[in-house]
Structure 1
């Protein structure tokens, strides 16, 4: 049997005491941590409950908190947009109307918008902006807005990016290279593909043509650039569509017959030979730069709303 000396026994006893003290300390620390956590969670829960009750009772305080949260979220969103290199710039200087929901338009304009939207399969929201602009510009220059819309319909079928083989561009199919100066106020030649800019320039060209010819039919002939023929095919298409749109605007029944314009070809003059109108000068005057319009028979099924 092995016996321990007194120093060894004391050393072993001391080690055991230290170990027990450490275990006791760890146990106390664990129990303290658990108690603190429980108390903390209880306090947090009590605080949240008190906050909810306070916000429920005091509506003004709740409103202030909601506004602060909304402001914080808006600031985060704005900062995220600024930090995003792919974000589109906000051009606040452009105050033109991009879309105009038909319900917000006057009755006549809303009816025309809905009818044109169904016939040409164009979204009514952006089309409403074009209708509103046609009425506004037409009133300013004393030109029937339904005639403006009819020219637009025959020329491009309301496609703002239409382009003819000879370079006529946009809604009104203006020959941009000839009328570059008219786009100066709108930022240059590329404005030909901006719907409202193209509409305004096209109306100016049409107004000049009518003034020069002395009649709407003669103005349309100059607008289409007819030189070797009388341009009656184009004129009849525009005038028929003009009567349809006008009937919709006035709430009248859709016409089933239309006047036919015929005239002998006028001799070409040096002024006419110069292409001053749309891009149809170098192509048959009866053709249009966009696809052919819907036949009149198809329109009889469409009535104004």
Structure 2
């Protein structure tokens, strides 16, 4: 055999040895990876706390990277906290009311749609006309969920939070007064109590505004009833004209004198 042939045989043998060694190393490496994977799977199955901790750390790392890329906190569940709904998803009757109120009070139709839907649900459950509930909200706060009067009435339905704190305990405390749906539910309960105590709707509205023992409620009950009548027409499909923009404003709640307020605290709580 020539020197060239021997060199070629040597190179082939070397290449074969290298390939065999690489195969064995790779095979053993894959085997180790497989064993490690199986071990990790068994460990995570036996210790769900470790799995949850790992998932939490991985999620935190991914969120931190995303926040760094976007430049602001990312909360995908924030939409669950929003009081809003698509008016197109409402029944025709409720959608008409939501759009009409949106135009009159210059409030976005999405949050109003959520409130309209809630008013109809609770009205059906409590046997109270939902357009009456919405009329009270309209006159009390103009659909401002953060409204507050000088005597401490707060939120959409201007509930006396300090007086009715026992009702807010069912929702986690007084700060729930500024959650629109909670304020609506508590307000409806207070309104029912006022109507039952007074023996009728018109007189009940006087109690609701704190003027139950006064001769004059400042026209509050008439304003609520007038808005109630308009909303009933809207819900029936009738075209109800809106007031000119110049006169659109939030009607401030009636603030009764101290004796009347004390009577409301004592009798409607």
TM-score category (smaller protein):
0.5 to 0.7
TM-aligned CA deviation for residue 212 of structure 1: 1.3
Q: CA deviation at 1:218?
A: 1.2
TM-score (norm 2): 0.63
1:109 aligns to 2:109 (yes or no): no
**Aligned partner of residue 144 in structure 2, secondary structure:** coil
Look up the match of 1:272: 263
| Distance change in 2, residues 1:91/1:275 (3 Å) | farther
Return the match for 2:147 from 162, 166, 170: 162
Unmatched 5+ stretches in structure 1: 1-73, 257-267, 279-305
Q: Closer, same or farther in 2 for the Cα pair 1:78/1:223, shift >3 Å?
A: same
**CA shift for structure 1 position 197:** 0.5
**Structure 2 Cα separation of the partners of residues 274 and 187 of structure 1:** 22
Residues 247, 255 of structure 1: 8 Å contact kept: no
Deviations 1:95-131 (A, max 9, x none): 6762111111110110000000000000001111011
What TM-score comes out, normalization by structure 1 length? 0.56
Q: Which runs of 5+ in 2 are unaligned?
A: 1-58, 243-258
User: How many angstroms does 1:79 deviate by?
Assistant: 4.8
Residues 104, 76 of structure 1: CA spacing in aligned structure 2 closer, same or farther, 3 A cutoff? farther
Counterparts of 1:80-229 in structure 2, within 5 Å, are 80=65, 87=73, 98-226=83-211, 227-229=213-215
Q: Offset at 1:272?
A: 3.1
Structure 2: how far apart are the matches of 1:273 and 1:239? 21
Decide which structure has the larger Cα Rg and report it.
1
The SS at the match of 2:84 is: coil
State the alpha-carbon separation in 1 of the partners of residues 262 and 151 from structure 2: 19
Answer yes or no: is the 8 Å Cα contact 1:180–1:188 preserved in 2: yes
Equivalent positions of 1:9-24 (< 5 A) are none
Give distance in 1, aligned partners of 2:175 and 2:162.
11
Helix, strand or coil for the counterpart of 2:219? helix
Return the alpha-carbon distance in structure 2 between the equivalents of residues 222 and 232 of structure 1: 12
> Where is the helix percentage greater, Structure 1 or Structure 2?
2
Give distance in 2, aligned partners of 1:241 and 1:270.
25
Q: Which residue of 2 aligns with 1:8?
A: none
1:248 is paired with a residue whose SS is: helix
* 1:87 to 1:96, Cα distance in 2 relative to 1, 3 A: closer
Structure 2: how far apart are the matches of 1:213 and 1:230? 15
TM superposition shift of 1:186: 1.1
1:247 pairs with 225, 229, 233, which one? 233
